[in-house]
Amino acid sequence: MQANVLKWKLNEGKVCFGTFVRLGAAATEILGYGGWDFAVIDMEHGVFDFPSVEQCIRAAHVAGMTSLIRVPEPNPSYIMRSVDAGAE
């Protein structure tokens, strides 16, 4: 399991920077290598389905960035699938 960079930095009292992602896995990876601490993958207003969300989560982890998911509705099924896919 990967360390939650965002949680660690917040616990240390550090400033964290993140953004919403709506362009896919390649954009997510670029943001991570660009120094962003977290990405919010937007399923509510974005065009993501779970296969593309899983790709974005993997891209974030490869780049050392925390991935958060904004689910389309407060349904436990969406939340559990996001966590199972590796989102923090």
Contact 72, 80 (CB under 8 A): no
Contact 24, 2 (CB under 8 A): no
45 given a catalytic annotation: yes
Which residue of the set 45, 49, 80, 84 is catalytic?
45
Cα gap 11→27, rounded to integer Å? 27
User: Which of the residues are catalytic?
Assistant: 45
